[in-house]
Chains A and B, each alone.
Chain A
Amino acid sequence: MSDAPDAEPRLPPLLAPPVARLLADPAALADAVARFGSPLHLLFPAVFHDNLDRFRAVLDAGRMQYRICYAHKANRAAAFVAAAHDRGIGIDVASAGELDSALAAGFTPDRIEVTGPKGLPLLHRLAAAGVTVNVDNLWELEQLGSTGVARVPVLLRLSGFDPARPAGRFGIDLADADIALRAIAAGSTVELRGVAFHLDSGDVGERVAALAGCLSVLERAYRLGLRPGVVNVGGGFRQAFSADPVRFQRYLRALLAGLNGDGPALGWPGHTFGFHQRAGRYGGVPSFHKYGNDIGGAAMLADLLDAPLDGRPVAATLREALLELWLEPGKALLDGAGITVATVEFTKRLRDGTTLVNLDISRDTITPADQEVMLDPVVVHRRLAAEHTGPARVFFGGRLCLERDMVARHLVALPRLPLPGDLVVFVNTAAYQMDLSAAQALWHPLPRKIVVTERDNGFEMTADEPAARG
C-alpha cells in the first residue's frame, strides 16, 4: 500500500455494484436520458435492499428484538417507501405528507412512527390515526393527552445526555423527563411505549452514553408503574462515500494548503468549507468531513451493539431487560442507492484561466443545506472529440444566474475536458442530497426520479410515481 505521489487531486467515490454496472453500460445511461430527459435522479431499490440486509444481519447476530423504521425524510421517492413496506419493516415519517405517502404505500398505523416538530393540527390527526408518536417536547405530550383519544402510543425523545455538548433544539431534556413520566402515569390517555434519542455524530461512546441515560429514565418509568418496552436509538448511521480515504485526506490537505497560501488554490474564491481560521491560518476539520468515510452504517450499528454498557455488550443489556431496539436509518439505507445525471451545457474559460463547466442542474439539485459534495462525479462522454483530449481541472457551475450557484466549489480533476452534451453523474445522492434543498426557482422543474431495476437482459427504468391516494 504505497503512498505513491499522484499529481491529480482525486476524490474517488464508492459505487454500489448495480450502479457500477449501469455506469459501465454506455447505452443504458444514454437511453435513460433519451427517454426521460435531463437532469435525472436514478433510484436503485436493490441497493436499499442490500443495505437493509446488512442492518438485519447485524441485529440478528446480536439476537435483538428490533424494529427498523426507514426514515422517509431522506428521500421523497415512493420506490423506497414501497421497498420498506415490501420488507415488512417500519417507517418513520416527519410530516403529514410523509404520513400520506406511507399510508398510500400500504403501511398500517402500527408500523408507522412520527418524529420531528409537530403542530396542533398534525397532533390531532396523529392521535386519531393510531400511529406511534415520538414526542419532542412537554407541550406536545400535553396536547396528545387531551385530544380525547385514549391510549395514544408515544415514545419520549430525550436529549441533554452530554452536558459538554451545546443544547440542541430537539427532545425533552433529561432534567424534565420526570415531569413527563409523572404526567403520563397520572393520566391514561397516553401510553408510554418507550424512550428515544437521535444523534448525528458517529461517535459510539456518545451513543452509549445516550443509551445509558435512556435506560435510567426507563427504570424511573417502571418505578412509576409504567411499562415501556422500546428503546429507539434514532438514525445518524453513516454513509460510506469514499473509495479511498487516504486520497480524500490528501485532497483535504491540498485544499487547506491553498487556503493558507502554501499551495495552489483548489477552492472557488471566498469559500472556506467550514475550516476554522485562527491567527490568519485555516485549520480544523471541514464541514464536509463525512465524505472521507468508507465505513457503512451497519458496521457502526455493530460497534454500538458490541460496546460495553453495564458490564456487558449493549445488545446483551437490552436483551436481558427484554427491551426492543428501534432505529431510524434513512441515509444508511439509501447509501449508494441513487445517482443524479446532469448534462454539460457549455464550458467556459475565465479571465484567470479557470475552466468552468456549466451543467443543467443547480447546486441545490445535489447539495443538502449547502454542504459541499466532496466526491468526484463520473463523466460519460457522448462522442469522441479530436480536440480537448488532455486532462482537465474544472469547476462545475449551475444553471441559476447567481454567483453562488456553483455545483462544486472545489476543483475536480478529470482525465478529459467534458464537452457540451456529455453526461456528468453525481453518485450516492439518494440520501437527502436530491431533496433536502431542491428548489424550483426560475421555472426549472425538479428532476424526475426514475426507478432502475436490473433484469437479465438489461436495465428496466420506470418513473417513480407515488401510489394512488385513497
Chain B
Amino acid sequence: MLYRHITELIGGTPLLRLDPAVHGVAGVELYAKLESANPFGSVKDRVALAMVDGTLDAMRAAGQTLVEASSGNTAKALRILGAMSGVELRAYTNRVRVGEVRDLLALLGADVRELPGLSECPDPTAPNDVFSVIGDLLDSSPGKFVHTSQYTNEANIEAHYRGTGREIADDLADAHGGRVDVLIGGLGTTGSTRGAAGYLRERNPDLRTVGVVSERSDFIPGIRSAAEMWDVGLFRPDFYDEIRPVESAAAIDGSLELALRHGILAGPTSGATYVAAKSYLAELDPRPGRVAVFIVCDRLEPYLSYYRKRRPELFGHSAAAPPGAAELAAAPTVDVDTLAAALADTLVVDVRGGMAYRVGHIPGAINIRDDCLDEMLTGAMPFPASTRVVFVCAVGEISARFAALLARACLPGAGLRGGILAWRDAGLPLETS
C-alpha cells in the first residue's frame, strides 16, 4: 500500500479475533485491538496526532515548544511528530523507570526533565507535582510553550471516539452488527477507554467497560494503580463497571501468552489487560455470543529490562548450572595470612562493587564486579593456568562461587576465607584507589 506521510498510518489498526481454544473463556468472542500496530508503536500515536494536528507549522513559525507530562509513549509520539515539523518537545516526569524508554527518548533528542519526589511535609505555597511545575513554566514564559495536556485534553477522548471506537464497531459490523458487550482497557489517562467505550455505548447501551490498573506492589508501565488516579482530569470512576487491579507477575505471564499463543508481541500493560479481560469475562454469567474487545496498547521490545529484572531466569546466560551447595563447600579457600605471604605470586580479583573496591582493597588486587565476571565466564575462562587466582568479596560467600567455577575448569583458583572483613580485622594493609 502506498502512503505519502507517516501520519496516514496512525489509526486504522487491526482488530484480531483470538482463538477461543487458546483464551479459554467459554462462550465469548474475544478480540484484540492492536494499537501496537501504530507507526510509532503505541496507542498514544493517535492521541499525539489528535492533540497537535494542524498546529505544528504555526508553532514552528512562532518558535514554540511542546510540553507534556509523559516519559513514555506520548512523549515519543510527540517528539517524532514535532521533530518532523521542526518543533521541540520538553517532557516532565517523575523518575523514568524503564531504561529503554529513557534511552530511546534520549536518542530521539527529547528534552526529558525528571522531578523530585513529593515531600511528606510540603510547603503549601510551592509547586509539588508535574502539573504545577508545567503550569509555572507556562506562566513564566507566556506563549513560549504549548501544553498538550493529555490528562485533561478532550482531544484525547475524541481521538479514541472517532478512531478506536468507530473502527472496532465498523470491523464488527458483519460478524456482530457492530455490537460490543465488554470493552477492557488500561487506565493511564483513561482516554482510550472513555473514547472507545463512548462510541460503542451509542451502539450498545448495555456495554460494560472494565478499566485495568496495577496493584500497588509494583508498577506496570503506562497505567496507574487504583490509588493514583487522582489528578487524572479525564478520569470518571463511575464510567467503569469495574476497575480491576493486576499484579506485574500476572501481566508478564499475560504478555508471554499473547506472544507465544496468539502471536501478538505486546508489552506488560497489554498482558495485564488480557489477564484482566479473561478473569472478568470468566466471572460473568455465561451468555452465548458475548463479544469482548481489549486494547493492546504497545509492543513488547521496549520493555526487555522490565522483564529481565522480574524474570531473570528467562534470560539465562550460561548453559551451565550454577555451583550447588556441595560444590561451594568443596571450593578451595585460602586464609588471609597465607594470601598475605604469597601476594606477589597471586592474581587477586576483588568481585565487589566499584565503590567498595576503591575505598579499600588488597594491595595489587584488580576489580571485576561479580555480575560482570559472570558474563565474562560464559565465554572462555580468562584466567591463566600458571598463576593462582584468589577471589575476594566482603565475607567470603560470593568468592566461593568463582572458586568453584574455576575448579570446574581445572584452573588453580581459591576464595579468600572471611573476605575483606577478615583481611581488615587481621590488621593487614588495604590500599585505596
Contacts and interface: CB of A to CB of B under 8 A. Distances in A.
Interface of A: 1-3, 5, 162, 164-166, 200-203, 205-206, 215-216, 218-219, 222-223, 236, 238, 245-246, 248-250, 252-253, 274, 276, 278, 283-285, 287, 289-290, 292, 294-295, 310-312, 316-317, 319-322, 369, 371
17 contacts: A3-B243, A164-B114, A202-B118, A245-B216, A246-B227, A253-B230, A278-B139, A285-B129, A285-B132, A292-B227, A294-B227, A310-B353, A311-B353, A312-B369, A320-B353, A321-B355, A322-B394
Given A219-B358, A278-B135, A249 B420 contact: no
A129 to B, nearest CB: 29
B231 to A, nearest CB: 7
B355 A246 contact: no
B44 interface: no
Interface string B118-145: 1111101011110110010001000000
Contacts of A320: 352-353, 356, 393-394, 420
B432 A222 contact: yes
Contacts of A2: 241-243
B201 to A, nearest CB: 18
A94 to B, nearest CB: 15
Nearest to A279: B135
Contact of A222 (B115, B135, B353, B359): B359
Contact of B216 (A203, A205, A252, A295): A295
B288 interface: no
CB-based closest 9 A-B pairs: A203-B117, A245-B227, A201-B117, A321-B356, A320-B352, A320-B356, A274-B124, A310-B353, A320-B394
Given A285-B129, A369-B121, A249 B230 contact: yes
A451 B121 CA distance: 28
B237 interface: yes
Contact of A200 (B120, B231, B395): B120
A278 B432 CA distance: 54
A276 B231 CA distance: 12
A203 B131 contact: no
Interface size class of B (residues with CB under 8 A): 35 or more
B245 A1 contact: yes
B238 interface: yes
B360 interface: yes
B14 to A, nearest CB: 31
B371 interface: yes
Contacts of A252: 230
B424 interface: yes
Interface in B220-271: 226-227, 229-231, 237-238, 240-245
A232 to B, nearest CB: 17
Nearest to A204: B117
Given A246-B227, A320-B356, 16 more contacts: A164-B116, A165-B116, A201-B116, A201-B117, A202-B120, A218-B359, A219-B432, A245-B226, A249-B230, A253-B230, A283-B231, A284-B128, A284-B129, A284-B131, A287-B124, A317-B356
B228 to A, nearest CB: 8
Interface string B340-359: 00000000000011111011
Given A165-B116, A283-B231, A285-B128, A205 B95 contact: yes
Contacts of A238: 120
Nearest to B424: A322
Interface string B390-416: 000111000000000000000000000
Nearest to A209: B116
B304 interface: no
B62 interface: no
Contacts of B371: 311-312
A2 B421 CA distance: 54
Given A284-B132, A317-B353, A200 B394 contact: no
Interface hub of B353, B371, B420 (most chain A Cβ within 10 A):
B353
B359 A203 contact: no
Nearest to A247: B227
Contact of B127 (A165, A249, A284, A321): A284
Contact of B369 (A283, A311, A321): A311
Nearest to A5: B238
A249 B224 CA distance: 13
Contacts of B135: 276, 278
A436 to B, nearest CB: 10
Contacts of A164: 113-116
B363 to A, nearest CB: 15
Contacts of A276: 127, 132, 135
A274 B372 CA distance: 48
Contacts of A165: 116
Interface hub of A3, A206, A312, A319 (most chain B Cβ within 10 A):
A3
Contact of A215 (B132, B237, B355, B394): B355
A249 B355 CA distance: 43
Contacts of A236: 120
